[in-house]
């Protein structure tokens, strides 16, 4: 399923959409029927009575969680949702470049209706709210209540910091390196940076898709980016972000491949690994000491605009931007908080699909002071809802907060980490992440991983301290 999904978004011919929807629906139903087989509940109960070692016990716990999710749904609902998601995603691929929301509104409305059915069924089985039941698929035991409290602290703090950061930037000199870079040169640079970060090309590859993603399986990781000759930095940061995901997948415990406990521990930790590489590491001053020579060699350029200091200033430039994947780390959480609120309103019925573009545009103006000129830069920019992934978005900002905590802890734990990054030596950092995050798979929950690695559960303070230090020199 993972490789077929990668194929659909990268090289599948446009006419293959209907056949691919049939293939994916068939596989999802087969998987669902295997997990919900009539004797599975008895087998899980029998296993629970056996004496188990710690990893086996954790594996059984995760099996039971998957079983509860699966048995909440009928095979017919799994099949219908899969087909609706495939149809909606195919419609989105055409609608996005054309900025044509109306063409995807009906498929999205159909899909949303089925997502509501899934949410209601899982809410009953898990004894959670419908939104929390969907969130649990991406962040086990996560809750809207905890996210609301976290965002209620984070949003006003960032709203106060943003004007300070923008004002502080007006006192800094800026150089603008040449922006038109051919795609082949951008790709070559991305491959070099991936290799330096530790990506294993014997077990993974880089391709192009409409929306950057990381997919595949731990021993065959597929990542993508998208290219714009006028925005080489955007494609590079997309590559680095997805490389962070890939490194996490590759570092998962090999002894538990294919078992639930061997899988990643939810999307908050997954996003922490991508955002740690993209934001914490690759927008640091030290990174550009290593990367500036790579840029100059790959692009055949020279001059002050391509110095480490100038590139660092460019990579940490803050603006009230329209597109989430291109946003700086100060404004990024505003994008996520808006999507979180909108998807809860869509799920509850407080917001109709037809009213989504207007609500999106109003939210962008209220949160960031900008209004999209069209829906391509507005509610069509992300694939998630059009693929049925409701309950996913808050994990991006949860991941950003976790990334700040983990990188601060890595700096405390690795002597001279910034100097090593400046030299292009990422092995100590990757080893530290492997020891403290990757190797645990789903043995621990998110807060337990963070508590052991950083001394604190998930919170906003390390992230806010990081923003003040990097952008205000505080």
Residues contacting 247, CB < 8 A, separation 6+: 197, 198, 199, 273, 277, 430, 433, 438
Tell the residue number behind the tokens 């991305």, with chain if given. 190
Catalytic residue among 62, 89, 139, 242: 242
CB 132, CB 144: distance < 8 Å: yes
Q: Are 243 and 223 in contact (CB under 8 A)?
A: yes
Residue 172 bears catalytic tag: no
Task: Provide CB contacts within 8 A for 242, sequence distance 6+.
Answer: 212, 213, 214, 223, 224, 225, 274
8 Å CB contact between 339 and 368: no
Contacts of 126-130 with CB under 8 Å at 24 or more apart are 126/68, 126/69, 126/72, 130/347, 130/348
Active site residues: 242
């Amino acid at each position: 399923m993972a490789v077929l999904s990668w194929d659909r978004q990268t090289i599948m011919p446009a006419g293959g959409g209907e056949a691919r929807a049939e293939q994916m629906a068939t596989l999802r139903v087969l998987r669902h029927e295997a997990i919900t087989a009539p004797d599975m509940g008895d087998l899980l109960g029998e296993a629970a009575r056996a004496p188990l070692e710690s990893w086996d016990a954790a594996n059984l716990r995760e099996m039971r969680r998957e079983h509860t999710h699966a048995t909440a749904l009928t095979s017919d609902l799994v099949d219908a949702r899969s087909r609706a998601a495939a149809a909606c995603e195919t419609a989105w691929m055409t609608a996005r470049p054309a900025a044509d929301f109306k063409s995807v509104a009906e498929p999205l409305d159909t899909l949303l209706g089925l997502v509501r059915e899934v949410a209601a069924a899982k809410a009953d089985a898990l004894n959670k709210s419908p939104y929390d039941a969907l969130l649990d698929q991406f962040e086990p035991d996560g809750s809207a209540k905890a996210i609301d409290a976290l965002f209620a602290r984070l949003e006003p703090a960032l709203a106060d910091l943003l004007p300070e950061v923008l004002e502080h930037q007006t006192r800094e000199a800026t150089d603008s390196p040449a922006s038109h870079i051919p795609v082949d040169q951008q790709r070559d640079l991305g491959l070099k940076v991936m290799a330096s970060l530790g990506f294993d090309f014997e077990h993974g590859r880089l391709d192009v898709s409409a929306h950057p993603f990381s997919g595949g399986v731990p021993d065959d990781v597929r990542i993508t980016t998208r290219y714009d000759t006028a925005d080489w930095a955007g494609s590079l940061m997309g590559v680095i972000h997805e490389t962070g995901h890939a490194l996490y997948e590759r570092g998962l415990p090999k002894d538990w491949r294919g078992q639930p406990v061997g899988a990643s521990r939810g999307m908050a930790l997954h996003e922490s690994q991508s955002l740690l590489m993209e934001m914490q590491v690759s927008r640091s001053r030290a990174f550009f000491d290593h990367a500036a020579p790579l840029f100059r060699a790959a692009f055949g350029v020279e001059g002050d605009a391509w110095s480490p200091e100038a590139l660092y200033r460019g990579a940490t430039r803050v603006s009230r931007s329209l597109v989430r994947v291109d946003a700086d780390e100060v404004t990024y959480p505003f994008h996520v908080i808006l999507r979180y609120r909108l998807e809860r309103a869509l799920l509850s019925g407080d917001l109709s699909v037809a009213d989504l573009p207007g609500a999106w545009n109003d939210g962008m103006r209220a949160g960031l002071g900008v209004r999209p000129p069209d829906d391509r830069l507005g509610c069509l920019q992300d694939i998630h809802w059009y693929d049925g992934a409701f309950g996913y978005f808050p994990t991006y900002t949860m991941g950003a907060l976790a990334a700040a905590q983990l990188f601060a802890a890595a700096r405390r734990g690795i002597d001279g980490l910034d100097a090593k990054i400046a030299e292009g030596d990422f092995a100590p950092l990757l080893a530290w992440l492997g020891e403290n995050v990757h190797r645990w798979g789903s043995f621990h929950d998110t807060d337990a991983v963070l508590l052991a690695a950083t001394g604190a559960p998930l919170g906003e303070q390390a992230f806010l301290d990081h923003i003040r230090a990097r952008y205000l020199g505080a």
